[in-house]
């Protein structure tokens, strides 16, 4: 049987430790092609590059996989891989491992998850992985077996059309991780707080900062599962229609 | 009674005809503050600016509103307006009028809609408006009355928590527009087709191009309504959890 073809991408850039670990884990499961940004793309959301051009190059990194770096966003990487690089449609697209959480509302800001969502839009199986540790020296090995297990399950039991997975891994030792919990996206938000500075010419400028405000303590929220030591898995869809409100809205507007 | 405070933003930039028309329409309804990007931001999706700084300036444009241009994305504009510019929480955030469609899957790539979604995340009432005409000379006046009607309805009957509106307007004369239809997001996608070129130094580069593929002919899809001459209104939510698949996924992974 042909080994599954796995496309790997991320938003931290092709040389980030998170993606290099994910590539190693995937090399044990299938034939791996990496198409990832040539520079960090955090917070890019579902951005695509339409007013600039793109370039790519094959680079030589350790391992049996092929590596291509692209001058675009994570979503660009998925589109470009499908159109110009991959020999056939991949059996799976994995994105990450992100350095930092993409739980709750972060799914909409996340380049990591946007790559997975784009793959879903393309009709492909897709999973985004994130570790709750921003450090470049983070330990990604702790969750190797769980990541490989999730990937194999999805390869054997394809997700329904229109659904991709958002997997977040707590910053814990392997022994401390309690297992996997399927969750909903917690109701949470970032409270923005722009940091004002003065440049050498006397002009004000601002850094976007903020703090995370989790309003959702429910048992099945991803933030709850993570805080309890579980790996959270949220099935994510990209039909954003609020079907439950259509009837009332018809009464209001039609 | 105090006039409603309306924040206006967009993704085509603060001087685009679409936003200037929307500002005029809103000036007749409330007190208007504009915080919009100082340059075009199409395709920015839910991008935020975290590795660069932001600057803003008040600019003088015709009309009673206040205008502020920001060096960031549409989502940055909403966050910055709330934290640094607005005198109080706005009663409504409107984004657009976008030059071009944001129907169906375009909602996830759209800076216009991401600004509306960000406002929704902040717990605000929000609507994104788009006209199916890319031209800078597009006629935005045709839908003035309908836009004002939708805005007034939402001000009088607030949307439920977690829901914002995605309004698309067909490129038709006022007399040809059949009315408003509440719709679901059509199941459609862009088929990417990167255009390969050679630069003067012999290196390949690429432009992202593609064509829109609507797979959804159902009566209640926004693409259908638009093709029939209706203004489409999709209630959009940002809890992306695929609740209907959680049970099966638990069986697979837990």
Indicate the pLDDT class of residue A45, thresholds 50, 70 and 90: confident
Per-residue pLDDT reduced to its tens digit, B130-143? 999 989 889 999 99
pLDDT of the residue at A27: 98
CATH tag for A5-190+218-253 (out of 3.20.20.70, 3.60.21.10, 3.30.470.20, 3.40.1210.10): 3.40.1210.10
CA B128 to chain A, closest CA, distance in angstroms equals 14
Instruction: Provide the residue ranges of all domains of chain B, joining segments of one domain with +.
Output: 5-185+217-253
- Does A85 reach chain B within 8 Å, measured CB to CB? no
pLDDT tops 70 at residue A97: yes
Give me the percent of chain A exceeding a pLDDT of 70.
100
Name the closest residue on chain B to residue A50, using Cα atoms.
Answer: B208
Task: Mark yes or no for CB contact A54/B207 under 8 Å.
Answer: yes
For helices A17-27 and A144-156, angle between their N-to-C axes, nearest 10 degrees:
50
Q: Judge whether B253 is closer than 8 Å to chain A, CB to CB.
A: yes
Would an 8 Å CB–CB cutoff place B75 in contact with chain A? yes
Residues 156-195 in A contacting B (C-alpha not used; CB under 8 Å): 157, 159-160, 162-163, 165, 179-182, 184-185, 187, 189, 192-194
Two tokens at B159?
A: 């949307």
Q: Which helix (H) or strand (E) holds B27?
A: helix B17-27
- Judged by CB atoms closer than 8 Å, whether chains meet at B180 and A79 is answered as no
B2: pLDDT confidence band, cut at 50, 70 and 90? confident
Q: Using a CB–CB cutoff of 8 Å, tell me whether A155 touches chain B.
A: no
What pLDDT, on a 0 to 100 scale, did the predictor assign at position B1?
A: 64
Q: Across residues B217-227, what is the average pLDDT?
A: 97
- CATH superfamily of domain region B5-185+217-253: Survival protein SurE-like phosphatase/nucleotidase (3.40.1210.10)
pLDDT at A235 over 70: yes
Q: How far is A225 from chain B (nearest CA, A)?
A: 12
Calculate what percentage of chain A has a pLDDT beyond 90. Answer: 91
A46: pLDDT confidence band, cut at 50, 70 and 90? confident
Kindly report the three-state secondary structure assignment for every residue of chain A.
Answer: CCCCEEEEECCCCCCCHHHHHHHHHHHCCCEEEEEEECCCCCCCCCCCCCCCCECEEEECCCCCCEEEEECCCHHHHHHHHHHHHCCCCCCEEEEEEEECCCCHHHHHCCHHHHHHHHHHHCCCCEEEEEECCCCCCCCCHHHHHHHHHHHHHHHHCCCCCCEEEEEEECCCCCCCCCEEEECECCCEEEEECCEEEECCCCCEEEECCEEEEECCCCCCEHHHHHHCCEEEEEEEECCCECHHHHHHHHHHHC
Check whether A176 has a pLDDT greater than 90: yes
Whole-complex ipTM: 0.92
Do B194 and A54 make contact, defined as CB atoms within 8 angstroms?
yes
Confidence category of residue A1, pLDDT binned at 50, 70, 90 = low
**Would the pLDDT of B13 be above 90?**
yes
Residues in A touching B237 (Cβ below 8 Å): 240-242
Best interface-test mutation with B: which of A11, A39, A48, A215 has the largest number of B CBs within 10 A?
Answer: A48
């Amino acid at each position: 049987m042909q080994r599954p073809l796995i496309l790997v991408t991320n938003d931290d850039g092709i040389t980030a430790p998170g993606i290099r670990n994910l590539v190693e884990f995937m090399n044990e499961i299938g034939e791996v092609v990496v198409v990832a940004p040539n520079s960090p793309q955090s917070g890019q959301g579902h951005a695509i590059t339409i007013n600039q051009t793109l370039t790519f190059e094959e680079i030589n990194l350790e391992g049996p996989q092929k590596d291509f770096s692209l001058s675009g966003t994570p979503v660009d990487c998925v589109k470009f891989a499908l159109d110009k690089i991959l020999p056939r449609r991949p059996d799976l697209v994995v994105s990450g491992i992100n350095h930092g959480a993409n739980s709750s509302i972060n799914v909409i800001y996340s380049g990591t998850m946007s790559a997975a969502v784009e793959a879903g839009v393309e009709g492909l199986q897709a999973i985004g992985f994130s570790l709750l540790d921003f450090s470049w020296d983070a330990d990604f090995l702790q969750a190797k077996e769980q990541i490989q297990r999730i990937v194999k399950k999805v390869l054997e039991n394809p997700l329904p059309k229109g659904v991709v997975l958002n997997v977040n891994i707590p910053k814990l030792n392997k022994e401390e991780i309690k297992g996997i919990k399927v969750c909903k996206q917690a109701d949470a938000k970032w409270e923005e707080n722009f940091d004002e500075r003065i440049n050498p010419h006397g002009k004000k400028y601002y850094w976007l900062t903020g703090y995370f405000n989790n309003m959702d303590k429910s048992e099945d929220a991803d933030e709850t599962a993570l805080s309890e030591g579980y790996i959270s898995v949220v099935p994510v869809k990209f039909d954003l229609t609020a079907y439950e409100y259509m009837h009332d809205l018809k009464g209001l507007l039609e």
